[in-house]
Amino acid sequence: MDMDLITNILYAMIRTGTPLLIIALGEMVCEKSGVLNLGQEGMILMGAVAGFIVTLLTGSLFFGFLMAMAAGVIMSQLFAMITLGLNANQVATGLALTIFGTGLSAFIGADFVGQPIQGLDVIVIPLLSDIPVIGKMLFAQDAIVYLSFGLFTALYWFFRSSRTGLIVKAVGENPHAANAIGLPVMRTRYLAVAFGGAMAGLAGGYLSLAYTPMWAENMSAGRGWIALALVVFASWRTERVLLGAYLFGLASILHLVAQGLGFSVSPNLLAMLPYVATVLVLVMMSRNQSRSKMFAPMSLGKPFHVGS
């Protein structure tokens, strides 16, 4: 395997792992506050179709990404109103949100399937992009990839060093104790869910505006479910989310690598790898439930009643 091939594999790994990283970071914040939102797939698709349509009609990628994030936030607040406002079951509501988002995105985008647009340009950083192996991987990417690096850094600091990050974790661990000392439990959870929706919408926008600049039904291809498993795999730790996203990204492109190397393995079989990896991660975590519970927010998925 020559150096150019390794460089291109690492470059593709970062691009493929970027939407997973963005979704997983948003879901991690949501779960840190004690809310389990399984509607990621629906929010991604709504973000993808909304961003694509706005970009196609206005010619502005900036407005496209804004609308993608807005669509994710709207979907997430629908989930929040039902689960936080009406104390509905979070798992059932999240699954319903995925089904709703998948169907609605297909309906809205029916007339836009296959229409190409001009995607994001690559931003090459002089000198740094010439570093062997890692130069192209880290310093010759598009703006959303660089933004994902910034999001990771910001959230790493947010949960380790900021007072607001401690409030989010306190709300997720014991909302009753947090409420007793005057912390805004419901407001924190609504904002955390909104942030998760914005990130899911941004990831959807990245898929339809940068990664494959076109709209197609179900183009998220299960990335929302993979991101949910990734948060568990990462034990709700920001740095592990980064590592896991790129590992899953690498698994997603192995079928292309194998074809390039001339292996005769079925590409369909290799394309299953990220989903097989997801199942294996969940199986491994379920075998050691005590360890998983030790890192998971104590009140994850549990309803909170003000005044109870």
Beta carbons of 67 and 50 less than 8 angstroms apart: yes
pLDDT tens string 67-89: 999 999 999 999 999 999 999 99
248 — pLDDT class (breaks 50, 70, 90):
confident
Q: pLDDT tens for residues 201-220?
A: 999 999 999 998 999 999 99
Mean pLDDT of 135-158: 95
- Residues 172-176: what's their mean pLDDT? 94
Per cent of the chain over pLDDT 70 is: 89
Angle, helices 40-58 vs 3-32, to 10°: value is: 110
303/279 Cα distance (integer angstroms)? 27
Residues 6 or more apart whose CB falls under 8 angstroms from that of 44 comprise 19, 23, 72, 101, 200, 201, 203, 204, 207, 220, 223, 224
User: To the nearest 10°, the Cα dihedral for 181, 186, 190, 191?
Assistant: -20
The pLDDT of residue 291: 55
User: 80 is written with which tokens?
Assistant: 């929040």
pLDDT value for 242: 94
Q: What is the CATH number of domain 17-295?
A: 1.10.3470
pLDDT at 307 over 80: no
pLDDT at residue 284 is higher than 90: no
Q: What is the pLDDT of residues 102-130, one digit of tens each?
A: 999 999 999 999 898 988 999 999 999 88
Beta bridge partners of 215: 113
pLDDT for 116: 86
